[in-house]
Amino acid sequence: MMELMTATPLNVTNTSDITGRNSSSDEHAELRQYLKIMSLIIFCLVFVVGVFGNGVVIWVTGFKMKKTVNTVWFLNLAVADFLFTAFLPLGVTYLALDNHWPFGNFMCKLNALVLSLNMFASVYILVVISVDRCVSVVWPVWAQNHRSVRKASCVSLGVWILALILSAPSFIFRDTTPDNGTIIYCYNNFALSDDNETPSVKQLGQFRNQTMTITRFLLGFVVPFTVIVSCYAVIIHRLRRNRTLASQSSRPFKIIAAVITTFFLCWAPYHMMALIQMVNHTAIHSSETLDHVISIGVPIATSLAFLNSCLNPLLYVFMGQDFKEKVRKSILNVLETAFQEEVSRSYTYTNSMVTSRSKEKSVSDAEV
């Protein structure tokens, strides 16, 4: 049977059969319906807050703040989150239509690519930020002489290229298939075949599923966070020895630490559920308990992963005084400009009316 994404519009797939494991348990139908409604509410909230919040971050860091290495990092992080949240209405529609995909095969592939791209780009930008902070603390003189906006932009471009390469399988293996002629599923077709009965084809699909899941877990979670934790262990050790440096690095350190912690808490359940799905699907006899865990855990893990894309702007506003001031001043400037334009138009219109009436009166007096 094909591996379908029946729980959520995510790369984390529910590896159930079309009419198999999930539909066999009616006692959990009410709970699954509740989780579906919860997911829809969270997805819509993430879309609104994420598009607006990340749009503001892109606007401020890209156009209002002085270009620095740090603004380049956070601009790219916001672009990754903005791109993902902009595609969320497709996932919301898919879930609202009970896993019917009306947008075609290409958009099914592109939607999966954007999710994977967001995950890899975000985590590797956080890795770059952590390494950059570590170098700045351990070798401040070298960092001052070699850190530049141009180099940061080149590194960011490299991160996007790496994220695109790692996300390519999500685009390649994504596919659509009709069911009973009424519902079209958007799912992971790891075998790249419509043959679901031949043992060799099924075995190939399972092998690719395992490879992709383990690779995503290692390269998208374990390796990046090992580097991040190592960098911050070095930073903390150095800051404890230098109190002056610690006081200077306090606020930026807290913001970056909050962003990294949030990413970890939001994405860890996602990867855990992916591993559980893989183990349960490849087992000779699947566990009914794990089936229930997956059916309940996948929507929750998905919602947390989605939620991460709208949390960073809130962290910047509540923890970053400089960013907060820039946002406030920028919005005030926009409003002031808009009001000034309205006042100016009104003033010009009033003057023109007064002038016109004066001319009319002059002509009338002359005629008398």
Q: What is the pLDDT of residues 116-160, one digit of tens each?
A: 999 999 999 999 988 998 898 888 889 889 899 999 999 999 999
Cβ-contact 43, 96 below 8 angstroms: no
- Residue 144 amino acid letter: Q
Shared domain check, 254 and 341 = no
Number of domains in the chain: 2
| In-domain check, residue 362 | no
Shared domain check, 105 and 64 = yes
| In-domain check, residue 5 | no
Q: Report the C-alpha gap between 239 and 244 in whole angstroms.
A: 8
Q: Report the C-alpha gap between 162 and 63 in whole angstroms.
A: 26
Shared domain check, 115 and 65 = yes
Cβ–Cβ contacts within 10 Å for residue 165, how many?
Answer: 10
Cβ–Cβ contacts within 10 Å for residue 91, how many?
Answer: 25
Shared domain check, 325 and 213 = no
- The pTM is what? 0.80
Give me the CATH number covering residue 36: 1.20.1070.10
Cβ-contact 190, 3 below 8 angstroms: yes
- Residue 125 amino acid letter: I
| In-domain check, residue 11 | no
Which residues constitute the domain of residue 82? Answer: 22-312
Q: Report the C-alpha gap between 367 and 43 in whole angstroms.
A: 73
Per-residue pLDDT of the chain (368 residues; tens, 9 = 90+): 333 333 344 444 433 333 334 444 555 778 888 889 999 999 999 999 999 989 988 988 888 788 889 889 989 999 999 999 999 999 999 999 988 999 999 999 999 999 999 999 999 999 998 899 889 888 888 988 989 999 999 999 999 999 999 999 999 999 998 877 788 999 999 998 888 788 888 889 889 999 999 999 999 999 999 999 899 888 888 877 766 555 555 556 677 788 888 888 999 999 999 998 888 877 666 677 788 888 888 899 999 999 988 887 777 666 555 666 666 666 656 544 544 443 344 444 445 544 555 544 443 444 43
| Concatenated DSSP letters of 307-344 | HHHHHHHHHHHHH-HHHHHHHHHHHHHHHHHHHHHHHH
- Residue 62 amino acid letter: G
Q: Report the C-alpha gap between 358 and 368 in whole angstroms.
A: 15
Q: Report the C-alpha gap between 359 and 193 in whole angstroms.
A: 83
Shared domain check, 185 and 156 = yes
Tell me the pLDDT tens digit for each residue of 72-110. Answer: 998 999 999 999 999 999 999 999 998 899 999 999 999
Shared domain check, 334 and 285 = no
Per-residue pLDDT, 346? 43
| Concatenated DSSP letters of 13-65 | -----TTSTGGG-GGGHHHHHHHHHHHHHHHHHHHHHHHHHHHHHHHIIIIIS
Shared domain check, 326 and 294 = no
In the numeric block, which tokens belong to residue 237? 């050790």
Shared domain check, 325 and 307 = no
Shared domain check, 335 and 286 = no
